[in-house]
Amino acid sequence: MREHILTVNDLEIQFKLRGKCLNAIRGVSMEMYKGEILAIVGESGSGKSVFTKSFMGLLEQNGHVAGGSVVYYGSDDGEEVDLTSIKKEKDWMKIRGREIAMIMQDPMTSLNPLKTIGAQIMEAVLLHQKVGRGEAKAKTLEYLTDVGIQDPEVRFNQYPHEFSGGMRQRVVIAIAIACKPKILICDEPTTALDVTIQAQILDLIKELRHKYNLSVILITHDLGVVANIADRVAVMYAGDIIEIGTCEEIFYDSRHPYTWALLSSLPQIGVKGTDLFSIAGTPPNLYAEVHGDAFAPRNPRALKIDFVERPPYFQVSPTHKAKTWLLDPRAPKVEPPSVVEKIRNGGLI
Amino acid sequence: MEREVLLDVKDLQVNFGQHKKKFEAVKKVNFKIYKGETFGLVGESGSGKTTIGRAIMRIVPSSGGEIIYKGEKINGKISGELDKKVIKEIQMIFQDPQASLNERAKVDYIISEGLMNINKGISAAERKKKVDQALLDVGLLPEFATRFPHEFSGGQRQRIGIARALIMNPEFIIADEPISALDVSVRAQVLNLLADMQKKRQITYLFIAHDLSVMRFITDRIAVIRKGEIVEMAETEELITHPVHPYTRALLSAIPMPDPKHEKEKKLLVYDPDMHDYSVNPPSWQEVRPEHYVLANEKEFKEYKKLYY
């Protein structure tokens, strides 16, 4: 049995907006293992960012955890911490950076333009590691080398505007690493970057995971990136994880109609001259209560029960489960679309 | 079969700044776009692909070379009559639907602004008819005309951007990264819409993007551009299955495919521009396979030729 670093039980997050209540996360349960890279995929608005922000107490003012728990096992004294019970900023400061660190999408806006790169990384080192200034500088140079920045001595004294987008993202990663976190949350870390740079950053994350013993949560909407880097994949739709499994299980043997739809709409799959598959309709309105399977109204294969009762998780294998009534023994047999077969047979290239 | 050339770009140069600060964004670029086809320009940020699109739209002035549209030169000084024709026939779709629509104008005005500029005396009834039709064409409802852009989602806003281009009945559309700001599921819808419009109206597209996987789906021919120079050009399938220039190969190897096995086994190619030794033998434009061109000097050309034989 692999060791857990984080377990989420029935987490619910609500936002109050103009007197109305928005259910952003609707009862999510999930566990995360030590040292793995877990990818969370979903459309914008599916709640993937909100979900992970709640691990760090970074929800907006009008949002709150309405139920459930997030238990963190990684702290040095070995004590379990329920992250949802933390109320004070002072207590969050012990978690943020030190235990769980985050890399944002846009490296242009997450660095301070008025401070040198070196000073920004050193700040994190001084704050989180008990070292003097001299040693902190040495460590900073080491981190810069680790994230693949050449001439660290020169780069140390430069400002963010002297760095390219990919290099800035490397600096942001260096800052996160300098906090010595156990969990690293990467929120769309490569969306703003070119493909060649993206590939380099993904390689870097893989390398650092081993070196620093990190557990990584990767939030993305790019399934190509997921295939490249993830050990396990969670598919999120309308504030719920509807399918979770190993990377191979999700790509080669997915079971939820939404995962099928997501895979089918990839341009990499498309055949020129024919229409690309697109998901009809829009995601459900989360202000209202969602009845049954949230994806049912957009799902041409929906069963009657999908509109009435919310499906529980059905186990496909010990590592793979999905929330769809299609997996119920009483359900009619529905064939997955041809795309699943196509990916399995490597028919993409 | 001789195909009709719609747009012919000859030795196009675009420079920014002057004298010491001069920066060559586009260096003597040549390509032809045939009528009815979708031509793709692929490159990374800073490669000059957007600048080429903007030079054709005459948003940025060209510093040298010629842009010939239907046999007439359209860059530099042109007659008022031609100017009007070019404005009407060449339209553009922008990348970011959040930034490219006037926040303070209603959809009705946004879509019909170009129409009113070209045809000052257009009656209100006719205008409304055209706006309604344009909205229907892109899959929106006519009653949206009285709303403001902030009331729409990203995919809908991009549709408004497309309706604004289509209402002019253009022959040629420049689409600058039209889907990169959109969500995965919405991307498919917008790509389908663009392909559908092409079938119905025989529109010619210049598609500018950084994502080769999207390009493969939508384009007929692709030019790969790097640092203001086209390094390779061929028909889409030919380019993707038989890339010869090291830069194209690096770019292709970097595209993440939704297949874990393939991804875990793949080897990333890294392009190092220093690998070319052009000091003695400068590169030129060579045909390495039928209709497949590459920028190479004599020595490289021989090596490239050997790749697939």
pLDDT digits (tens, 9 = 90+) for A34-75: 999 999 998 888 888 899 999 999 888 889 999 999 999 988
- Percentage of chain B surpassing pLDDT 70? 99
Supply the DSSP symbol for B146.
Answer: G
Within 10 Å of residue A7's Cβ, how many Cβ atoms? 15
Specify the pLDDT at position A314.
93
CA distances from A288 to A21, A62, A68 (A): 8, 18, 20
Amino acid at A206: K
Q: What residue of A is the nearest CA neighbor of B217? A: A272
Identify the band that residue A1 occupies on the pLDDT scale cut at 50, 70 and 90.
low
pLDDT at B44: 85
pLDDT in tens, A232-279: 999 999 999 999 999 999 999 999 999 998 888 887 777 777 777 888
Which residue is it, tokens 């690493």? A177
User: Inter-chain contact B188–A277, Cβ cutoff 8 Å?
Assistant: yes
A247 → chain B, closest CA residue: B260
Give the per-residue pLDDT at A8: 94
Contacts of A320 in chain B (CB under 8 A): none
The shortest C-alpha distance from B209 to chain A (Å) reads 11
| Nearest CB neighbour to B187, from listed A229, A267, A272 | A267
The stretch B247-261 carries a mean pLDDT of 88
Which tens digits make up the pLDDT trace of B258-305? 888 888 888 888 888 888 878 878 888 888 888 899 998 888 888 888
Nearest-CA distance from B261 to chain A in Å?
8
Residue B308: is its pLDDT beyond 80?
A: no
Q: What is the 3-class SS of chain A, one letter each residue?
A: CCCEEEEEEEEEEEEEECCEEEEEEEEEEEEEECCCEEEEECCCCCCHHHHHHHHHCCCCCCEEEEEEEEEECCCCCCCCEEHHHCCCHHHHHHHECCCEEEECCCCCCCCCCCCCHHHHHHHHHHHHCCCCHHHHHHHHHHHHHHCCCCCHHHHHCCCHHHCCHHHHHHHHHHHHHHCCCCEEEEECCCCCCCHHHHHHHHHHHHHHHHHHCCEEEEEECCHHHHHHHCCEEEEEECCEEEEEEEHHHHHHCCCCHHHHHHHHCCCCCCCCCCCCCCCCCCCCCCCCCCCCCCCHHHCCCCCHHHHCCCCCCEEEECCEEECCHHHCCCCCCCCCCHHHHHHHCCCCC
The β-bridge relationship of strands B72-73 and A314-317 is: unpaired
For B38, residues 6+ apart whose C-beta sits below 8 A from its C-beta are B198, B204, B205, B207, B218, B219, B220, B221
Q: Which pLDDT score, from 0 to 100, does residue B6 have? A: 93
Q: Which of B217, B265, B267 is the best substitution to test chain A (most A C-beta atoms within 10 A)?
A: B217
Q: Answer yes or no: are the C-beta atoms of A120 and A171 closer than 8 Å.
A: yes
CA–CA gap between residue A145 and residue A150 (Å, rounded): 7
Q: How many CB atoms lie within 10 A of CB A346?
A: 12
| Percent residues over pLDDT 90 in chain A | 50
The string of pLDDT tens digits covering residues B129-142 is: 999 999 988 888 88
The mean pLDDT value for A1-29 works out to: 89
Q: Buried (b) or exposed (e) across B8-26, using 16+ Cβ within 10 A?
A: bbeebbbbeeeeeeeebbb
How does residue B55 score in pLDDT terms, banded at 50, 70 and 90?
Answer: very high
The set of residues, in sequence order, having a beta carbon less than 8 Å from that of A76 and lying 6+ positions away, is none
Three-state SS for B230?
A: strand
Q: In the numeric block, which tokens belong to residue A92? A: 């969050």
pTM here is 0.85
User: With contacts defined as CB-CB under 8 Å, which chain B residues touch A43?
Assistant: 183-185
Q: Decide the pairing of beta strands B229-235 and B221-226.
A: antiparallel
Residue B168 or A284, more confident: B168
The pLDDT of A149-172, averaged and rounded, is: 90
Residues near B95 by beta carbon (within 8 Å), at least 6 away in sequence: B176, B177, B178, B180, B181
> Which pairing describes strands A232-237 and A37-41: parallel, antiparallel, or unpaired?
parallel
CA contacts within 13 A on the Cβ side of A341: 4
Long-range contacts of A84-87 (CB under 8 A, 24+ apart): A84/A11, A84/A54, A86/A57
Q: Please, what are the domains in chain B?
A: 36-57+78-234 (3.40.50.300), 243-309 (no CATH)
- For B200-245, how does the pLDDT look when each residue is reduced to its tens digit (9 = 90+)? 889 999 999 888 888 888 899 999 999 899 999 999 999 988 999 9
Which residue from A minimizes the CA distance to B263?
A228
- Of all residues in chain B, the percent with pLDDT exceeding 90 is 38
Nearest to A227 among B45, B185, B260 (CB): B260
User: How many CB pairs below 8 Å do chains A and B form together?
Assistant: 127
For residue B8, give the amino acid letter: D
pLDDT digits (tens, 9 = 90+) for A293-324: 889 888 888 888 989 999 999 999 999 999 99
* pLDDT value of residue A347: 61
How far are the Cα atoms of B110, B114, B134, B135, B196 from residue B129, in angstroms, in the given order?
Answer: 15, 15, 9, 10, 21
Query: With contacts defined as CB-CB under 8 Å, which chain B residues touch A204?
Result: none
